[in-house]
Chains A and B, each alone.
Chain A
Amino acid sequence: MSTGHERAADGGAMLHPELRAQRDEAARAPDGRRLDHAEGTSKPLRTAAEPQPRGATVHGSRPVDQAEAAARFIAAPEHEKMHDERLWDLRQKRDREMHGIAEWEELRALASAIKEHTLTHLDEYLEQFEANAGAHGVHVHWAKDAAEHNRIVHGILGDHGAKTLIKSKSMLTEECGFRAYMASVGIEVVETDLGERIQQLDNEDPSHVVVPAVHKLRTDVAAVFARTIGTDPANSDVHYLAESQRQATRPLILAADAGMTGCNFAVAETGSVVVCTNEGNADLSANLPNLHIASIGIEKIIPRLDDLAVFVRLLSRSALGSPITQYTSHFRGPRRGSEMHFVLVDNGRSDRLGLEKFWTSLKCIRCGACMNTCPVYRRSGGLSYGATYSGPIGLIIDPTFNARKYSKLPFASTLNGSCTNVCPVKINIHEQIYAWRRELVKQHEMPLAKRAAMKAAGELLSRPAAYRAAIAAADAALAHLPRFVIYNGVNAWGRHREVPHPPKQTFHSWYRENRGGAQ
């Protein structure tokens, strides 16, 4: 086996060993074809696996400490490096796709305009959607919150005597705590998306809206599968793991009483639901059982099929840097002998629609491009946010669910603005992050010490004489204090980096000496 640390010509020294092209036979499918996806071209790393860092500690509504969890993620360098590079690879693939489309920026503007139009006429389009879906024999339900969604789905399952449910990935059901609720009422749920299944088996939330187990190394997956489906704990070959999972899950899929999907787009003029996947698992979930339930956030509505074309061109290019998802499935009505139910869920969305500075966050199509590009997210892992939605979009959505619990999240950003630029529906994400900081201060969700420090800073910076004295004192301190006093553990600047070298004099005093006294 070649070592993971050689500087492969096709990899480059900056690349994590897991991401470099591989020369041994494990990179080929059993029929000899070369595999050309991210996992296919990676290889096992080592014998002693680095344990997977876990996400943020969550205690009720106490503020989630993202920085603490991020620090633990960074303290696991193999995980952090793989995570950063894998997501950066998605960002680069997205850029390549973007450059292949001359009208890319027009598409983004169009997508944004369609979403803004729809959101400002949401009541009309929802009613149109309901009427058209009903005309095709779909049962349409309305849920005002997560609890009502879960009760409605439970009721439908109960009407059919269903005890097992297969489902495709849905962030809305994550929002609703759906699997935990189903477990509490004795219904077995099987996730059919591979990444989501890994997360379900590990009893862990998805860390990313599109690639839910992206924070795990293959050795982490091997450990989960060894524990839950009985694979060889020493074997982390990706084909072995994927095939073992398929063999373990496929019988459950075939025997399931009911199927559930999320919804990427709900088309008002046709009353149809469109689901985009790469594994075909939504089609299995929807089509194998005789009962299909689709959970739909009310912001997923778009007016027409023509509009769908705009979003389909943007979605997978933004998400994974591929031109289109493998499957774009339209669900218009039940097959003969089966039932189809659509559950339209609000769960805070209409309140969000009323927030002047934040309502456009509802344009989000959950592509995850903002996460892939976010330098903080790539180095923190999605579970560090302790919320359903992580990364930049999470920073502006999560506080609408619980301002206190997620009061620290808008500070987990450098405000660099890359998220805004990659967003296919042009949400001004970094400006909303900034606006949330102001909002949280207004709502008194900031620690007292920070409040006091900022008040003191404001007073100092508005008094030139006091400010002059403070600058001189800072320079003098850095010039004369011994190193152990400056790097004292309380100085957050100096824990992992050197402090600036104090100059002989400030600019102010240089100017006085060299440009004279007159103002």
Chain B
Amino acid sequence: MRIGLFIPCYIDAFFPEVGVATLELLERLGQEVDYPRDQTCCGQPMANSGFNAECADTEALFVRNFAGFDYVVSPSGSCVHHVRDNFDAIEQTAEVTAVRTRTYELVEFLHDVLKVEAFPWARFPHRVGLHNSCGTLRRLKHATPSELHEPFYSKPLDLLAKVEGIELVTPARPDECCGFGGTFSVFEEVVSTKMGYDKVADHAHAGAEYIVSADSSCLMHQQGCAERIGVPIKFIHIAQILNGASA
């Protein structure tokens, strides 16, 4: 089984440690992982702004990079959501739809495809608040959203429960959007940052030392907000904890 590793632009530029943790974790689990060098982005920034035609060349490049892999795995829920659900600026050939349906977000890949039972190398003796990004929660269906009357499940909590020493805390509004929202974060920056302030304050109030998420984009925004208003909380991607990061 060959896995194509998709490292989105902002992880490449700002959070290389998240890419490294994802790669190392998949390798620890015995997977054969390639990182196509010519990859850039999935096109979501343009698509979410309504400019779908402008995504066509980026989407075509994405398919050229990732066609031929059994799975494409990425540590970014919102990018995977985009590829799977909205990636339609180019003709939907068999090759394109194959790439789209084989693209997985890391948590669901570990939980649903590899069905990982244990992370014996992982120990994280800290109080952690989970941030389910809206893309993973309501589109990729990582967990039951609080709005729906459905039996409870949570793939990220299932995985984190296998980490020794971790203590999970729950904020008052666990499913509230943090306000990142892609280009929303700059086009509506006042609302965006207010939502971010409220989010990090809620986690801090619940006693979290760390906020963990499957989306570095939300964490990048929350970290910027926390630093600006002086909330002493740290941020970590779920790949890093599962890969055995100590802090």
Q: How far is the CA of A440 from the CA of B48 in the complex (A)?
A: 12
Contact code string A70-103 (vs B, CB < 8 Å = 1, else 0): 1100100000100010001000000100110110
Known: A414-B184, A497-B196. 14 other contacts (CB 8 A): A74-B190, A95-B147, A375-B195, A411-B184, A413-B184, A415-B182, A418-B177, A446-B51, A474-B13, A475-B13, A492-B189, A497-B193, A500-B15, A507-B19
User: Are the CB atoms of B224 and A498 closer together than 8 Å?
Assistant: yes
Contact code string A438-464 (vs B, CB < 8 Å = 1, else 0): 111100001000110011011111111
* Contact A99/B149 with A506-B13, A507-B7 known, Cβ cut-off 8 Å: yes
User: Are the CB atoms of B16 and A505 closer together than 8 Å?
Assistant: yes
Q: How far is the CA of A492 from the CA of B35 in the complex (A)?
A: 32
User: Are the CB atoms of B40 and A467 closer together than 8 Å?
Assistant: yes
Q: How far is the CA of A185 from the CA of B177 in the complex (A)?
A: 47
Binds B, one of A156-164, A217-225, A508-516: A508-516
Residues of A within 8 A of B54 (CB): 454-455, 457-458
Interface membership of A422, Cβ < 8 A: yes
Q: How far is the CA of A496 from the CA of B12 in the complex (A)?
A: 24
Residues of A within 8 A of B207 (CB): none
Interface membership of B181, Cβ < 8 A: yes
Shortest CB–CB separation between residue B208 and chain A, in angstroms?
Answer: 14
Shortest CB–CB separation between residue B20 and chain A, in angstroms?
Answer: 6
* Contact A507/B16 with A70-B191, A461-B40, A496-B228 known, Cβ cut-off 8 Å: yes
Residues of B within 8 A of A411 (CB): 49, 183-184, 187-188
Binds A, one of B97-105, B106-114, B168-176, B238-246: B168-176
User: Are the CB atoms of B61 and A462 closer together than 8 Å?
Assistant: yes
> Which residues of A are at the interface with B, using a C-beta cutoff of 8 A?
12-14, 66-67, 70-71, 74, 80, 84, 88, 95, 98-99, 101-102, 104-105, 373, 375-376, 379-380, 410-418, 420-422, 434, 436-441, 446, 450-451, 454-455, 457-464, 467, 471, 474-475, 492-503, 505-508, 510-512, 515, 519
Partner of A462, one of B10, B17, B57, B149: B57
B36 closest partner in A (C-beta): A519
Within 8 A of A (CB), among B77-135: 86, 134
For chain B, give the interface size range: 35 or more
B176 closest partner in A (C-beta): A375
User: Are the CB atoms of B224 and A493 closer together than 8 Å?
Assistant: yes
Partner of A498, one of B10, B61, B228: B228
Q: How far is the CA of A494 from the CA of B55 in the complex (A)?
A: 27
Sample (18) of A-B pairs whose CB atoms are under 8 Å apart: A70-B190, A84-B198, A411-B184, A411-B188, A414-B134, A418-B177, A436-B50, A438-B52, A446-B51, A460-B40, A461-B45, A493-B185, A494-B224, A500-B220, A503-B14, A506-B16, A507-B20, A510-B16
Partner of A511, one of B9, B35, B223, B227: B35
Within 8 A of A (CB), among B185-223: 185-196, 198, 201-202, 205, 220-221, 223
User: Are the CB atoms of B148 and A471 closer together than 8 Å?
Assistant: no
Q: How far is the CA of A510 from the CA of B37 in the complex (A)?
A: 12
User: Are the CB atoms of B51 and A500 closer together than 8 Å?
Assistant: no
Residues of B within 8 A of A471 (CB): 9, 12-13
Residues of B within 8 A of A421 (CB): 138, 145, 147-148
B184 closest partner in A (C-beta): A414
Partner of A414, one of B17, B34, B181: B181
User: Are the CB atoms of A88 and B57 closer together than 8 Å?
Assistant: no
* Contact A441/B191 with A98-B149, A105-B150, A496-B228 known, Cβ cut-off 8 Å: no
**Top 9 A-B pairs, shortest CB-CB distance:** A414-B181, A437-B50, A462-B57, A497-B224, A458-B54, A421-B147, A507-B19, A416-B134, A416-B177
Q: How far is the CA of A441 from the CA of B152 in the complex (A)?
A: 39
User: Are the CB atoms of A417 and B150 closer together than 8 Å?
Assistant: no
User: Are the CB atoms of A510 and B39 closer together than 8 Å?
Assistant: no
Shortest CB–CB separation between residue A365 and chain B, in angstroms?
Answer: 17
* Contact A508/B12 with A414-B184, A461-B40 known, Cβ cut-off 8 Å: yes
Partner of B188, one of A67, A434, A461: A67
* Contact A416/B138 with A99-B149, A474-B13, A497-B221 known, Cβ cut-off 8 Å: yes
Partner of B37, one of A88, A105, A415, A519: A519
Contact code string B149-171 (vs A, CB < 8 Å = 1, else 0): 11000000000000000000000
